[in-house]
Structure 1
C-alpha cells in the first residue's frame, strides 16, 4: 500500500541500532556489492511517499538480518512506485547471484514472470507486505480484509447514532497493490450494512495524497457540502489530502485512515482525523528477515509461518504465510498503543503546534 501502513512495536533502542547499522553499511544498503557469495539478501521496497518504508521497514529488516547472520549483507533498492524500475532492480539482483530476495511489489500482477525466471535459477522470493504473483517461497503481511473491517467499524463508530442515516465517500488504495482490494472488501462488508449508502467511490493510483485531494474535491462538487457525512480513506497519507480538501470548503466530517503515520496521529489529536489503524511493523519485518536468512541457509521455515495462502490469481497455491493482526487507534488510546510501544515518543508527536492537543489527550 502506500500503504499500508503501519505502527509498530518498535523500541527506540532497536530503531537507533537499526538506523546506525544501515548508516555504517554493516547491513549492506544501496552500496552493497555482488551477491554471488551466497551471503547477500535482496530487499526491494515499492515507494517512498509512505513514510514507513524508509523509517521502519528497511532499518528493521537490515538490523534483524545483521543479528541473525553477522556476515550477511542486505542489498537494498526502492522503486519509487515504478514497476519497470523494480523489475530492473529485481533482475539485477538475480544477475549478481543473490539467492534470496525480499519483494514488496509495486504491481503484484507484473511479478509473475520475474519470480518464475528467478525460481529457475534457484532464487527464493519472499513476498513482504504485499502478495506478489509467482512461485513465492513465503509471504508475510497482515489480515488485510480484517483491517478493512476495522476501518469500516471505526468510521461507523465515529458517525455515532446517525450512522444508519449517513452517506459515505470511499477513497480506496492503489489498483496495483494487492492489499487494496482486501481493505476495500473488508470496509464494504461493514459500511454496506451499517450506513445509509456509499455515494462516491474512487481508487487512487499510487496511494497519492495529491490525487486523493483532487478526488475529494470532485466528490464535494458532485455531492454538495451536505451530501455526505463521513469519508473512508484507505491510508493516512491520502487522509491528509482529503482533509485538506474538506477544510478548504469548511466541511467537518469524520475521516479515517491507516498506518499510524506521525502526521495522521497528530491530525487525530487535533481532531481533524477520526482514527487510524496501527499495524505492528517490527514483528512483520523481523519475521521476514528471519525467513530470508533461513532460506539463504537452506533451513526449514517451521515455526515462522502459521498458515498458507493462494495467490490472488489462484494459480499459485499453498504459499507458507504469516499474517499479523492490527487495531484501531483514536485519540483515546494513542498513549497505550503508539507511545507505549515506542513507535513514536511523546515529544515527536507533541510538537509546538500540537502541544495543547497533546495535553488535552493526557500525553506528556
Structure 2
C-alpha cells in the first residue's frame, strides 16, 4: 500500500469526530482553495496537496479545488488569496507564509462569509474558523527530549558543553510553537543551550551558514543540535562535515522527509518526526466539506481562540525506522536504500 492510500485510510478513521453527529447531507459542491507557504519544504507538493486533493475528490466529487504555493513570499500569498476569492472560493485552507500578516487575510475572507481553515501554521492574532495541524509544540518537546535521552545514554557530561538550537522561520507561528517545545524539552536536562537561531524562511543555506559560525565559535563544546526540521537538520550536518568534524554530534530533524530519513540511515541525523502530511490534509478536506455542507466541525481543543484538531506525531530514530516507516509502507526500501545508503539500510535490517 502506498504512503498516500495508507494514510488517507488512517485519516478517515482519525477524523470521524470532526463533524457533528447530524445526519449526512447530500454531497455538496463549491470551490475550495488550498494555499501553501513555500517550496523549500518538499512536503507541500509531494504530500500535502495530493492528500488534500484525494480526500476532496472522495468527499466532494463536484467541488472545485484551487491550489497555489506562495514560495515564501508574503505579497505573493496575498495576491493568491485575493485571486481565489475572486474565483469564488467558499472555504480557504491557508498555511501562512507570515502568521502575523495572515490576520488581515482571515479578516478579509470572513467579512465576505468565506471560511478560513488555518493549516499547519496557526494565525495567533485572529481566530480562524478552524485549525488543523500536528501538535507543533509537542513536536519540539519530543525531538529535544529524544536527543537529551540519547546524550545521557551515551554518557555525555552535562558540564562540558551544550547544544545548538536551530529554529524555523521567525514569521511562522508553528515554528514558534516548535521552538517553545524545544525549550521545554531541554529544560532541566542539564545541557545548556550554547546559542540558538531563527532561520529565515526555513532556508537550509542560512541554517548551514549559522551553524558553521557556531562550529568556529564553540568547536568541541557542541554535544548536539536540536534542529526544527529535516532541512535545517541536514544543513547542520553539512556544516559539520564541511568543517571536518568526525564523529558528528547528534542532530535532530522533523517531517520525516526522504532526505532526512536517509541521513538517519547513514547515521548522520539522530531523529526526525513522522507526521504523514496526508493525515492532516485529509482532515482539512473533511472540515472544508463540512463547512460547505453547513455542518459545524467539532473540536477537541481550542488554540489561539480557534477550534483545533491536533494530531500526535511519532519520533523516528534508527531503532524504529524499519518498523514505523518502511514496514508500514510510508517510504519503501527501494526509495530509501539508494546508492550510499544501501549499506546503512543493510545494517538496520532493511532489505532493498
Shared fold, TM over 0.5: yes
State which of 23, 26, 43 in structure 1 corresponds to 2:34.
43
Q: Secondary structure at the match of 1:256?
A: coil
CA apart distance, 1:172? 0.8
Where does residue 129 of structure 1 map in the other structure? Answer: 120
Residue range with higher mean Cα deviation, 267-276 or 164-173: 164-173
CA apart distance, 1:57? 0.3
State which of 265, 269, 273 in structure 1 corresponds to 2:269.
273
Where does residue 314 of structure 1 map in the other structure? Answer: none
Post-superposition CA distance 1:87-140 (Å, at most 9, x none): 000011112221110000100100111111211111000011111243411100
Where does residue 51 of structure 2 map in the other structure? Answer: 60
Q: Secondary structure at the match of 2:113?
A: coil
Residue range with higher mean Cα deviation, 134-143 or 163-172: 163-172
State TM-score, norm by structure 1.
0.86
State which of 269, 283, 288 in structure 2 corresponds to 1:287.
283
State TM-score, norm by structure 2.
0.88
Which whole-Å CA distance do the structure 1 matches of 2:195 and 2:307 have between them?
37
**C-alpha RMSD of matched pairs (Å):** 1.8
Runs (4+) of structure 1 moved beyond 4 Å? Answer: none
Where does residue 24 of structure 1 map in the other structure? Answer: none
Where does residue 187 of structure 2 map in the other structure? Answer: 192
Which whole-Å CA distance do the structure 1 matches of 2:105 and 2:157 have between them?
46
CA apart distance, 1:297? 2.0
Equivalenced residue count is 326
**Equivalences for residues 70-149 of structure 1 within 5 A:** 70-132=61-123, 133-149=125-141
Q: Secondary structure at the match of 1:322?
A: strand
Which whole-Å CA distance do the structure 2 matches of 1:12 and 1:261 have between them?
12
Give yes or no for contact 1:38–1:98 (8 Å, CA) kept in 2.
no
CA apart distance, 1:16? 12
CA apart distance, 1:163? 4.9
Structure 2 unaligned blocks of 5 or more: 9-27
Q: Secondary structure at the match of 2:340?
A: helix
Post-superposition CA distance 1:61-102 (Å, at most 9, x none): 001000001111110000000011000000111122211100
Structure 1 unaligned blocks of 5 or more: 1-9, 18-36, 311-316
Q: Secondary structure at the match of 1:107?
A: coil
Where does residue 249 of structure 1 map in the other structure? Answer: 243
State which of 240, 245, 256 in structure 2 corresponds to 1:260.
256
CA apart distance, 1:48? 1.1
Where does residue 236 of structure 1 map in the other structure? Answer: 230
